[in-house]
Every structure is written in structure tokens, then in C-alpha cells.
Amino acid sequence: MIEAHTGAQVRAAETPFLERGDGPALMRRAAHGLALACSRRLRERRGKVAGARVVVLAGTGNNGGDGLWAGAELARRGAAVLAVATGDRLHPEGEAALRAAGGRVLSLGGPEGAGAAGRVLAADLVVDAVLGTGARGGLRGAAAALVQEVLDGLPDGAGPEVVACDVPSGVGADTGAVHGPVLPAGTTVSFGSAKAGLLLPPGEALCGRAVTVPLGLEPALPAPALRRLEPEDVAALWPRPGAGSHKYSRGVVGVVAGSATYPGAALMCTRAAVDAGAGMVRHLGDPETRRLVCLTSPEVVASEDHPTEVHVQAWVVGPGAVGDPAQESRIDAVLTGAVPAVVDAGALGAAARAAADGALGPGKVLTPHAGELAQVLAWLAALGVLEEAPEREGVEAEPARWAAAAAAATGAVVVLKGATTVVAAPGGLLLTQADGSPWLATAGSGDTLAGVMGAVLAACAEHPDAFAAAGSWARGENRFAVAAALAVAVHGQASRLGGLGPVPPTVLAQRVRDVLRARA
Ligand SMILES: NC(=O)C1=CN([C@@H]2O[C@H](COP(=O)(O)OP(=O)(O)OC[C@H]3O[C@@H](n4cnc5c(N)ncnc54)[C@H](OP(=O)(O)O)[C@@H]3O)[C@@H](O)[C@H]2O)[C@H](O)CC1
Ligand SMILES: [K+]
């Protein structure tokens, strides 16, 4: 499991060390880890550190200090190191160390400043140490202009290796928000803990591979602000049948999906629930869709019942269920009922209305993409539950903020789907997953995800401690968020199985089986 913290959390854990006078030691440790990561990149790129051209973009604070100390270490290993001071001052000890090791300093505001972009573009490696956890907003003035000039001058697919110090400057360390121009990093080396912004969209796309350097303050860190499940967590947590299991104890998934206009959504959703290992799958829908479901997935029991007439552990409602009054009535019954449910696509509007009325039942997991979440937020604002609602672009700029706002306003888990998917629980738990291939962005892959999620939700619905192996944070109501993150992770892993390429949703469902078998 990757655990990430906010800047404030790391600073709080750091305070006792600073009070004991250990600040310089912490910085030396951080800088050494940064220098090691830079040396590794240089060896990969050109075989050795000696003779490499290194530019350190150094801001005025401790982030700049880390960069300068790391630059000093690289200079001692024979690199030609130039620090570009982006502000009116530099960390004094860091600057002295760099100069003592033979490094040089150029002031961006001085006469040589005009040549700085050329020096950056000609470098083998650039350390981005302008802004860290103390940043307010993004790069400004001359520093922003320099980075923009470098971005404009970067040749396609080439240019210097960029190593970001703690966080790429301009990416919000806590939010992942991108403020102004940012130099995309190949590697981000963070200290004490990964900062939450490295695992949040849209900033994550600018962070490259993440490396964390331990500083010794880790035991003093509080519960993380954000978590991410890794493949070994998925293997450990995915619900598996025991010797005494039977189809009902493993979890029955009820699917309210499809309509005469969109029968395919029901086929993909039910197929995925079967392939993800549900004990049993029931489908409720119109006669033609039911016939097709039974033909493509004979394992599914299809009927014209109302949800109040069948017993399931979890529902999936919404995929393709539009323009059909009988389906809408079934969806309303599920939303106001006590059984957990994945609420997707056409059912999201009804969920927002139910939440505004205080009628949304417990254990609901909403699965919008950015446009759908903007719509849900607009409904919640119109119904007086939220004060403001952003456009789709606003959701994309701050996905975690708006997923969390929707979770708090509805009392449901919100799964905001994207290249990095954000899972926000109403109690504040936050997980993100970035396992999927870009080929996942295809019609029907959301129907498949909903089916997979329904299978996990059904398995944990009656077991508050289903994921307790992950820690006490995963217990109780939070298990629904863990179930959602597990489904997103497996769905993403399935999309990458066998290499990158097209993955039609029906093929994806089969690959879910393969992922689960491989992780058994
Ligand atoms: N986590 C740890 O235990 C350790 C962290 N280290 C490193 O320290 C930074 C945080 O350092 P800090 O000095 O608090 O903050 P920054 O270096 O990020 O930036 C603060 C300076 O930058 C100026 N500032 C703020 N916003 C902007 C902006 N948008 N544009 C330009 N300049 C900005 C601000 O100056 P002002 O005069 O404007 O207030 C500050 O001077 C952390 O990220 C780690 O890299 C330790 O080295 C090891 C322990
Ligand atoms: K930085």
C-alpha cells in the first residue's frame, strides 16, 4: 500500500526534530537521497556521473536548500553543477556547500539570467527545487517564464532528465492541482512520505516515477491523507471463497441495467459480475434484454421482479437503464433501500435527488466520470445541498476536492473515474488508483467496472471486517470505499494484461478472471 501525507502532516511530524536542532541533519538526509536518485538517472542516461551537466533550479526556501545540498554532492562526484537562483536569495548553507564543492550559481534576475533556459535545455539532468511544501500557488515571474521557455524549447521525446525535489514546482503538494507552467518530472523524490499531490490528478501525470526517501520521522506521521492499493494489497484483500462457502454466502449481485435502447450495458455489466467471481448474479429488466442476458451469460438468473421481491447482497443500478419507467422504478427502490449498491450512469441523477431528500440508503457507491460528477454537483447545488458547483473543467482541475464534496453531501462513496480514479468516502477516507491502460477509455468499460464492483460489494456487504487485514481504517462503512478501490484496481490491471492494446469491455471481463487467477 502506498500511503501519502499532506505537507502539513509531514511538517508536524518534523517539528520535534527541528526543536531538538535536527533540522540540518534532516535536510542532509533528504538531499543525500535526492543526490542518489540523480546519480542513478545519470548512470542510466550516460553511464557515469562525472562530467555530467547538472542544473539545479533553486528557490528561496528549504526545497531549494535540498536541491543545493544534492547539487554539492553531485559536484563532489565530478558533475558540473550550476544552480539557477529563481528568487532573491538562496538557502545560505546549501549555497555555501555547493560553492565549496566547486558548483556555480547564476541569478535568474541578474545579467546572466537570459541564458538560463539554454543552460537548462543543454543539461543532462535538471533538479527542480524551486517550490516544495511551502509553496503558495505555482511558479511566478521570472521562474514561470523560464519554465515556459524551457517547455517551448524542449525537443519531442528528448531533453534533460528532470528530477523533482519533493514535488514538481507548481503541483500542489496536498491537492495535485496544477498551477501555471510545470516542468514534467521523470522522477519525483519526496521526503518522509509521498505527498498526496503526487497520487492525485491532474498533478500525478507530471510527477513521473515516485521515490520516497525515509527521514526517520515516519513513526511520528499520522494516518495518511491518501492511500493507494498495490497489486499485493489486491491479492491479499480480494474476497475469496473458503471451504464452507456457498453461492449465497459469497454474495448475490442484483443488476438493474439495460433497456430496449441500450441492452448491451446489461450484457457487459452482468458478464463482468460473473467473471469477477460473484456467488450468483440476478438481472432485472425488460423481456428482450433479459433474453439477451441469458443467451450471453447463462449463469445469470433474469426476471421481471421488483428489487423488493428478491434478496441480494448488493445491487448495481444504472448502466443503460434509461427511458424505461419500470427500470426507473426499480432504481428508486434500490436507492432508498438498505442494501449496498453501485450507482452508475443513468441512476446518478436519481441518487442526487434521493440524497437531497435525505432518502439515499446506506452503502451506496456512486461511479461518475468528471462530466457526470459536475452534473451531480449541479443537481445537489440546485436542490440546496451544496453551495456551489463547478463545471466539468473545475472537477478536472480539483478532482479530489469535488469527489470528497459529493461524498460528504450525499453520504455515499464517490468513485470519480479517470486515468487516476479518485475514491472518496463520506467520512473523509481517500484512495486513488492509476492501474488502467489508456485503452480503457472506451464505451462499455464503465459497465464492466460496475459489474466487477458489484461482485466485491456483495462479498463484503454483510462483513464489516471484510478488509480488516488492511488496517482498522478499512473497517465498517469504509469497507465500501475499499471494495470500490479493489474493483478499480483489478479492472485497471486487467486492461494491461498481455501488453497495451485495445481491450473491448467483454474481453476485459475475461481478463479480470485472469488477473484474479494470477493473484490467487
Ligand atoms: N519534510 C521534511 O521533513 C523536510 C522537508 N524539507 C524540504 O523543505 C521543503 C519545505 O520548505 P519550506 O521552506 O517550508 O518551503 P518551500 O521551499 O517549498 O518554499 C518556501 C519559499 O518559497 C517562497 N514561495 C512560496 N510560494 C511561492 C511561489 N508561488 N513563488 C515563488 N516563491 C514562493 C516563500 O518565500 P516568500 O518570501 O514568498 O514567503 C518561501 O521562502 C520541503 O518541500 C522539502 O523539500 C527538508 O529539507 C528536509 C526535511
Ligand atoms: K520542487
Centroid of chain to Cα 283:
32
Distance 180 CA to ligand 2 centre (A): 14
Average of per-residue pLDDT across 263-269: 97
Domains along the chain with CATH numbers: 2-228 (3.40.50.10260), 231-237+246-518 (3.40.1190.20)
Q: Which three cell numbers stand for residue 153?
A: 524549447
Whole-prediction pTM value?
0.95
Q: Using only C-alpha atoms, what is the Rg of the chain?
A: 26
Q: Comparing C-alpha atoms, which of 448, 444, 439 is closest to residue 499?
A: 439
Q: What angle do helix axes 505-518 and 263-275 make, rounded to 10 degrees?
A: 10
Distance 127 CA to ligand 2 centre (A): 8
pLDDT for position 498: 84
Q: Quick one: which atom of ligand 1 is closest to the CA of 179?
A: 29
Nearest ligand, CA of residue 66?
1
Contact 284, 305 (CB under 8 A): yes
The C-alpha atoms of residue 308 and residue 498 are separated, in whole angstroms, by 42
Q: What is the pLDDT of residues 433-473, one digit of tens each?
A: 999 998 888 888 999 999 999 999 999 999 999 999 999 99
Asked whether the predicted pLDDT for residue 505 surpasses 90, the reply is no
pLDDT for position 248: 76
Pocket perturbation via mutation, ligand 1, pick of 18, 62, 95, 146 by most ligand atoms within 8 A of CB: 62
Which helix or strand (DSSP H or E) is residue 62 part of?
helix 62-76
Binding residues for AMP: 417-421, 446
Binding residues for K(+): 63, 128, 169
pLDDT for position 444: 87
pLDDT band at 194 (very low <50, low <70, confident <90, very high): very high
Protein residue with least CA distance to atom 24, ligand 1: 135
Which helix or strand (DSSP H or E) is residue 120 part of?
helix 116-122
pLDDT for position 395: 97
pLDDT for position 283: 98
Instruction: Determine the 3-state secondary structure of 520 from DSSP.
Output: coil
Nearest ligand, CA of residue 34?
1
pLDDT for position 155: 82
The C-alpha atoms of residue 198 and residue 436 are separated, in whole angstroms, by 17
Protein residue with least CA distance to atom 14, ligand 1: 134
Does ligand 1 come within 6 angstroms of the Cβ of 397? Answer: no
pLDDT for position 432: 98
Q: What is the pLDDT of residues 31-56, one digit of tens each?
A: 999 999 999 999 999 999 999 999 99
Does ligand 1 come within 6 angstroms of the Cβ of 192? Answer: yes
Q: What angle do helix axes 62-76 and 92-100 make, rounded to 10 degrees?
A: 10
Phi, psi for residue 484 in degrees, rounded to 5: -65, -45
Asked whether the predicted pLDDT for residue 211 surpasses 90, the reply is yes
Q: What is the mean pLDDT of the chain?
A: 96
Q: Comparing C-alpha atoms, which of 3, 512, 67, 464 is closest to residue 212?
A: 3
Contact 177, 131 (CB under 8 A): no
Q: Per DSSP, which regions of 10-79 are E strands?
A: 53-58
Q: Quick one: which atom of ligand 1 is closest to the CA of 60?
A: 41
Average of per-residue pLDDT across 137-148: 97
Protein residue with least CA distance to atom 48, ligand 1: 27
The C-alpha atoms of residue 253 and residue 270 are separated, in whole angstroms, by 9
